[in-house]
Amino acid sequence: MNTAIISNLAARSMGYRKVSPAISLATGEYKAIKNGIWLYLLLLLFEGALRKWFLPGLATPLLVVRDPIAMYVVFAAWSKGILPRNNYLAWMVAIGIMGLCACMIFGHRNLPVAVYGARPFLFHFPMMFVIARVFTREDILKMGKAIVWISIPMTLLLIMQFYSPQSAWVNRGIGGNTDGAGFVGSGEYFRPPATFSFTNGTTLFYSLAGCFILYFWFNKSINRLVVIAATVCLIIAIPLSISRGLFFQVAISLIFIILSISRKPQYIGKIIFASIFGVGGFVLLSKANFFNTGTAAFIDRFTTANEAEGGIEGVFLDRYFGALQSAITGAPISTPLFGYGLGKGTNVGAMLLTGSTDVFLISEGEWGRIIGELGPLLGIMAILIRFSMSFKLGLASFGKLKNGDILPWMLSSYGVLSLIQDSWAQPTALGFFTIVVGLVMASLATSPKNGHRRRKQAILPNPFLTQRLQKQN
């Protein structure tokens, strides 16, 4: 059985509608939808700049400025008959609707808070599938190049924020707050938020940029000097961000790229060159005072935080798997069957319900918050859906390596973890979640050989079905 038949069967198993050849994605039929996706990305990257520096008086409504874009993208795709029909999407939307109803009947009954909590399920999660449906390989690479280019001036801003006092204009907080937007880092140095509303945006942006930067070292579709400059900026951003999360994520992406290219002897030369450049660049940067200061602050933060959490083992086991265990085994005991209501665990919900964001009303962790808002039944179902998608995308991305396609694998180095643990309560984290998982699925539905054309393949292929059909052949 040839690969076309296997792909078609896999696509049917995911419930895709048949699209007429007359409205091929390559014809620009969905240009408006693609433009909406690009606008979503640009607002994600610069929404914080608008709220802090340019439109501080509109800081509150700008918090949800991407929501209408997500709604447009989803409804435009639905109207054109290209919104995929599969179990993941159907169940997640159903959980959002049931959670919304349960909130108004058994929960806090505050409609604005409930709608705010339901929007990830109803708009942002479906938007991922639209990205996967309309984006071609060319679109993915264009977005990757844009992110790599933006990382260069973003790093210059990061340096300015790191060495400027919190009262400086570049460090102003939301609404033009002169107390500063930085978060406590190490000693007298604060974690810089770059163009984002909060410092987590810095970590999320460079995590995604790192995937593309490493990929473009082995892809000639972008100027080599740009890749070198972006690599230097990534090396600088890790200590200046004072973020352990960014450090671990870049380390994971490095492991992924090494595993992918180790299967190809023709890349040995590039591996050696990239390794020499990385080590040499770090040595040269270590002679610069600004880099040494940032590195010292990062090491101090890294050491202090690790000791507080019981070392590296505690960081990984307690922060990730420990949070999962406590969310699933602890929360259901004290949580009402239908939860406390969608949105109650978010900062926006806390502000609308109590007038303060000083205390988390449910849980700081994502899994605990989901179970607390939706209840044990719907909450655990939502978590299992994310776990299942993460496993399937990771497995499918690994399978792409057999064909020499490393882009899905590299994007999965961030996207798979994002699916499991990124918070939907914080708008910036939700935005990066939507973009990166959408790009992972889009890269799986395309190949380097067909360029702008899309393969007739499921966005979430069933690897077990594919392997079984291959064996039967």
Instruction: Give CA–CA dist 352/445, Å, rounded.
Output: 41
Going residue by residue through the chain, which has 473 residues, state the pLDDT in tens, using 9 for 90 and above.
Answer: 443 433 343 344 344 344 433 344 444 669 999 999 999 999 999 999 999 999 999 999 999 999 999 999 999 999 999 998 899 999 999 999 999 999 999 999 999 999 999 999 999 999 999 999 999 999 999 999 999 999 999 999 999 999 999 889 999 999 988 888 777 766 688 899 999 999 999 999 999 999 999 999 988 899 999 999 999 999 999 999 999 899 999 999 999 998 888 777 666 676 777 777 777 777 777 777 778 888 888 888 777 766 666 555 555 555 555 556 556 655 555 789 999 999 999 999 999 999 988 888 998 889 999 999 999 999 999 999 999 999 999 999 999 998 889 999 999 999 999 999 899 999 999 999 999 999 999 999 988 875 544 444 445 554 444 444 444 44
Instruction: Give CA–CA dist 115/348, Å, rounded.
Output: 11
Our measurement of the distance from residue 207's CA atom to the centroid of its chain's CA atoms, rounded to an integer in Å, reads 8
Q: Is residue 437 a contact partner of residue 8, using CB atoms and an 8 Å limit?
A: no
Q: Quick one: pLDDT at residue 318?
A: 56
The pTM assigned to this predicted structure is: 0.88
247-250 long-range CB contacts below 8 Å, 24 or more apart? 247/298, 247/302, 249/203, 249/207, 249/210, 249/413, 249/414, 249/417, 250/206, 250/207, 250/210
Strand extents, DSSP E, 158-267: 183-186, 189-191
> Rounded to whole angstroms, what are the CA distances from 6 to 60, 322, 392, 440, 467?
49, 40, 17, 20, 9
Length of the chain: 473
Q: Quick one: pLDDT at residue 280?
A: 77
Q: Quick one: pLDDT at residue 91?
A: 97
> Rounded to whole angstroms, what are the CA distances from 352 to 33, 68, 114, 362, 363?
33, 21, 11, 15, 17
Cα dihedral sign for 439, 442, 446, 452?
negative
Q: Quick one: pLDDT at residue 250?
A: 94
Reduce the DSSP state of residue 185 to 3 states and report it. Answer: strand
Q: Quick one: pLDDT at residue 316?
A: 56
Our measurement of the distance from residue 138's CA atom to the centroid of its chain's CA atoms, rounded to an integer in Å, reads 20
Measured at the CA of 316, the angle between CA 191 and CA 464, to 5 degrees, comes to 120
Q: Quick one: pLDDT at residue 465?
A: 42
Burial class (CB in 10 A: 0-12, 13-18, 19+), 127: buried
